[in-house]
A and B are shown apart, each in its own frame.
Chain A
Amino acid sequence: MEFEIVLVSCITAAALAIPGVFLALKNMCMVSDSITHTVILGIVLGFFVTKDLSSPLLIIGATLTGLLTVYLTESLYKTKLVSEESAIGVVFPLLFSIAVLLITLFASNVHLDTDSVLLGELAFIPFDRLVILGVDLGPKALYFGLGLLLINLAVTLIFYKEIKLSIFDYTQCALYGFRPWAIHYLIMSMVSLSAVISFNVAGSILVVAFLSIPAITSYLICKDFKQMIITSVLVAVLNSSLGCVFAFALDVSIAGSIAVVSLLMFLRVFLFSKKAGLLMKFLDKRKRREEYLKSLVLYYINKEGNFQKACGIVRDKRVMKKLVKEGIIKNSP
């Protein structure tokens, strides 16, 4: 059972990591937060139409609401009356609130409460099984996750060139006749669909973690688009498995634990990675600064012909002292 949970969360995380990269590169990470909230409205509305919580129509409806959210946000922003981030912050609470109202007013007797939608729980996955002709084929979530992974992979492979171009050079993309807005909405559909399918696994707020944290972690260390996608999928799988292990050991929320591990992993890379880590940067900067100031002092000694004068000119006394101590420059000419 635990194995099933690990498997499902790894697959879901890998599937989400792919559109997450696109979002991160488009500087739209917070849009994922917006979409994960508003797809609930789509589910509620779809439920009113179909009266069935397991209908596939719900998935389509919810995905469309995700797109609607993006559309509304962009329309509001395009009026130039509010800033981009304000537009996000105005639209999604509204749609989410409407969803909550609809649920409490008309659907409270059904199993559709905001708690489970927002918070989700991986631990329940193994109980909802796919049984065909009496044969137990494993948890349903596994198939949803696999399907999502396949879709995201397929779209990425087919439209790789277009997506890459539209992200890095929107105008160029339009010039080449690719309709960048269409690619934009393709990406948003991926995000939206991913949010819809995975929120009952992770809960909508933690879907944000799945979408954005692996992407920004790999963004720190990767220079190449393809490399970044692959790294982010690997990071996502690693985070999920580690997160599950911790959750089992401590008996706490699995999705929450994955999010925490993701943060720790990010911080590890952010602070200690050899290429981009803050620590390396700091040490490197210090070294460069010393070198630089050394050359500065030498220049002025050369120019003024006198150490004392050079000392008066160069301001960093700490480095000066160090240079003298190391014998790199002598106290007398």
Chain B
Amino acid sequence: MEKIAVEVKNLVVSYKEIPVLWDINLKIPKGCLFAIVGPNGAGKTTLLKAMLDLIKADAGFVNIDKTLKVSYVPQNSSVSWDFPATCFDVVLMGSYRSLGWIKRPGRKEKNNAAACLEKMGMLEFKDRQINELSGGQKQRVFLARALMEEGDIFFLDEPFRGVDVVTEKEIIRLLKSFKEEGKTAVLVHHDLSTLCEYFDYMALINKSLIAQGPCSEVLLSEKLTQAYNGKISPFGVGYANIASNVR
């Protein structure tokens, strides 16, 4: 059996007492590209955040292999775009975790940052303010920042939103090269047509887990329509009973 990088068990997360994720059970194997797929508002971002322990879950637990270093590329909504930071500054921020409080990045970190920018083909834009880049370039910079963290498992929230095709392919190429090194990447993804091409495994969620497994298997089943049409109660029978209870 292959090794498990992340195990999610019985996870329930709610905002204001309304469950957004209901009883999620998930296993993410080590060394694979894993897609989290679902319609808008399905709770994909929430799932990612819960996995990283950025929001408190009401029930269940998440186990991330202790030996793995985690790095996270959030959905870019929280960035203050007008901030006076160059690409180089942004990438350098990736070293802050290992530095901890107060300690400053030194020569080593700076060289490393330049190398990461280089890897993403962004070295020539080193001194650009972050908002003067195109969507694809921004994403490259944020990926370079994630590289700085030297993580073993990457969590990327919709990295391809507003990104050109070239950059998208390049990011996937990079992630695949990571896979060769035994690293893991978990992505929130939208485009169903490229799923099989990019990813090994996927989880289909819409509040609760609808299906998981190798991409081709999940895509073939009728589960997909279930997730996207939502005609069948996403919570299944168990929830329907409880829901009447809650009210």
Contact = CB atoms under 8 A, between A and B. Distances in A.
Given A288-B17, A291-B246, A313-B10, A296 B238 contact: no
Contact of A313 (B14, B60, B82): B60
B242 to A, nearest CB: 5
Interface residues of A, number: 19
A144 interface: no
Contacts of A295: 242-243, 245-246
A303 B241 CA distance: 12
A300 interface: yes
A299 B16 CA distance: 19
Contacts of B133: none
Contact of B246 (A292, A300, A316): A292
Contacts of B12: 296, 314
A285 interface: yes
A292 B17 contact: yes
Contacts, number: 48
Contacts of B58: 292-293, 296, 314-316
A298 interface: yes
Which of B58, B61, B82, B245 has its CB near the most chain A CB atoms (within 10 A)? B58
Interface in B182-219: none
B238 A299 contact: yes
A288 B243 CA distance: 13
Interface in B225-247: 238-239, 241-243, 245-246
Given A292-B17, A296-B12, A298-B245, A303 B60 contact: no
Interface string A55-93: 000000000000000000000000000010000000000
B152 interface: no
Interface in B51-76: 56-61
A97 interface: no
B23 A285 contact: no
A200 B56 CA distance: 53
Main secondary structure of the interface of B (DSSP, over half): mixed
A285 B18 CA distance: 11
B19 to A, nearest CB: 8
Nearest to B57: A315
Residue among B19, B241, B242 with most chain A CB within 10 A: B242
Interface residues of B, number: 22
Contacts of A299: 23, 238-239, 241-242
Nearest to A319: B58
Contacts of A104: none
Nearest to B18: A292
A300 B59 contact: yes
B59 A315 contact: yes
Contacts of A288: 17
B2 to A, nearest CB: 26
Interface in A248-265: none
A302 interface: yes
B59 A292 contact: no
Contacts of A292: 14, 17, 19, 58, 246
Interface string B114-134: 000000000000000000000
A296 B59 contact: yes
Interface in A278-333: 285, 288-289, 291-296, 298-300, 302-303, 313-316
Chain A CB count within 10 A is highest, among B17, B56, B239, for: B17
Given A298-B242, A299-B238, A299-B239, A314 B59 contact: yes
B57, B61, B241, B246 — which one has the most chain A CB atoms within 10 A of its CB?
B246
A41 B56 CA distance: 53
B57 A300 contact: no
Contacts of B239: 299
Contacts of B59: 296, 300, 313-315
Kindly list the 9 A-B residue pairs having the minimum CB-CB distance in the complex, ordered from nearest: A314-B59, A292-B17, A295-B242, A288-B17, A313-B10, A295-B245, A295-B246, A299-B242, A313-B59
Interface of A: 83, 285, 288-289, 291-296, 298-300, 302-303, 313-316
Given A295-B243, A299-B242, A316-B58, 8 more contacts: A291-B17, A292-B14, A292-B19, A295-B246, A296-B12, A298-B242, A299-B239, A314-B58
5 contacts: A292-B58, A298-B242, A299-B242, A300-B10, A313-B59
